[in-house]
Structure 1
């Protein structure tokens, strides 16, 4: 069974001592070194965050990036993170610039998906508006051959499966679906049994990780600093994997660990520990 499992290292898992919305989102390790470490550890996929990715594009360009990916056996690429995609005004103008660069990168790198966020810190989702804008974004992404995956988050206006499904079902696009991250489900009080409510065609991406029993406050700080490798916390990672498999998911498995201890390790150690701890969850 393990030979059929392909793991994808999300950007923050092996980016080094940086974190979302910190002083910089550009990895201290070169793109080539990160891809080499990922490939040698066993990963078949990688995640790239917009700011870090554009820094690499400026330095070496897409053709060189593609060659490095191929050289290291990296065949799955996920891009992130688009927010404010359904708003208007200045925030939307800024979002649209990021959108265009992510779409261009998806085409150049053959990315499997673009990760997008809900309204972080917002209470109520305007499902009709979000579905309309999600449909448009999916149609734009289809032109470059990539999926759009909406992430459920407990501190957002899409914090349960019902709201998330309402958006993607109403949009009804073949390349549009959901990203299920075990951290967001666990911390959001979503039972793994609820995953069975999601039609397989809408489960587009998965992220694994673990955490301790009690979250620090605010919850945002817990998610960007206190995650741990699968098996090092209290989440039932094998049960989550089984629930996702039972729902029909067959794609690569992402690993997203944002940890203020893991990120300080040497690059090869980060990659190797991340891979081994995650693949072992499929043996349980």
Structure 2
């Protein structure tokens, strides 16, 4: 499936606002000026369970003027994930298998799937992670999809440069990375690490901000205390300029998890994210 969006396009990343049903997200997100939207697997499954075929879901998204950028995420893909300690969160994550998520993404016409590690099981070796990711890529390739690892500092693939090593070791043409600014800077990676990544391996980009000093609880911070681009201390100008300098063709997603956002009008969130992203990109690219 061809990628329809490029680095001048902005994508609304749905996970922080999954309190709003997918069909209710579409109009406000498009009205704010976003060209694309990411979906959660549950967005698709809930509508299908209610009787809406995937083709109709895809048509509703297209009719709103939005492109599906990715389905986020596959979370049960390493061998150790089958032995995860039982908890409500891990029980949910174990339903997010490559087979189920890739099939849903293919039905909806998404070009790619995001792959994360956040179950808290034993850290994989490079060889173990590469073999498991290669399998995900092969399953995705059967449907013409790409797959991208998103590093999560609270998980066992903590850094963008570490995730990049897994992608290269897996050796699959459709394998790549999701580069999120919170994960990049909180995971100890640098802009030099970013510049060393082949641009074709950067499938998706997500921007947000945070204070220079990390919180004591990184999981709580990443899920509840991110800031809008420009509100914190991350070198977001350098981030965007580095992507442009290496020739990244990925669109720019906005993903801001913050306390108090759920339950507010989705249009307010979309407008706030868009204003912050446009201001950042305008300054970074000399258009402000």
TM-score, structure 2 as length reference: 0.85
CA distance in 2, matches of 1:117, 1:106: 16
Query: Could you tell me the TM-score, scaled by structure 1's length?
Result: 0.86
1:11 is matched with which residue? Answer: 14
SS at match of 2:173: coil
- Alignment of 1:173 with 2:165, yes or no, is no
- Tell me if the contact between 1:14 and 1:271 (Cα under 8 Å) persists in the aligned partners: no
Whole-angstrom distance in 2 between the partners of 1:81 and 1:185: 18
- Specify the alignment match of 1:279 in structure 2: 278
Alpha-carbon distance between aligned partners in 2 of 1:264 and 1:64, rounded to the nearest angstrom: 27
Alpha-carbon contact 1:183-1:209 (below 8 Å) kept? yes
For the Cα contact (< 8 Å) 2:81–2:119, is it kept in 1? no
With 43-52 and 219-228 compared, the bigger mean Cα shift is at 43-52
| Residue 120 of structure 1: how far off its partner (Å) | 5.0
Contact 2:160 2:184 in 1 (8 A): no
Give the unaligned 5+ runs of structure 2.
Answer: 1-5, 85-90, 284-288
Q: Which residue of 72, 81, 87 corresponds with 1:80?
A: 72
Cα distance in structure 2, aligned partners of 1:79 and 1:89: 20
Distance 1:235 1:89, change over 3 A: closer
Q: Where does structure 1 differ by over 6 angstroms across 4 or more consecutive aligned residues? A: none
SS at match of 1:254: strand
1:269 and 2:268 are equivalent in the alignment: yes
Instruction: Describe the shift of the 1:88–1:183 C-alpha distance in structure 2 as closer, same or farther (beyond 3 A).
Output: closer
C-alpha change, 1:248 and 1:95, in structure 2 (3 Å) is: farther
Cα displacement string for residues 168-226 of structure 1 (whole angstroms, at most 9, x for unaligned residues)? 11211111011111001111222212211111221111110111233333110000000
Secondary structure of 1:263's aligned partner: coil
Q: Which runs of 5+ in 1 are unaligned?
A: 16-26
Q: Distance in 1 between matches of 2:248 and 2:7?
A: 13
Q: Partner of 2:184 in structure 1?
A: 185
Paired residues in the alignment total 270
- Superposed CA deviations along residues 146-182 of structure 1, whole A, max 9, x for unmatched, are 1111012222332234432221112111110111110
1:47 matched to 2:47? The reply is no
- CA 1:32–1:161: 2 relative to 1, 3 Å: closer
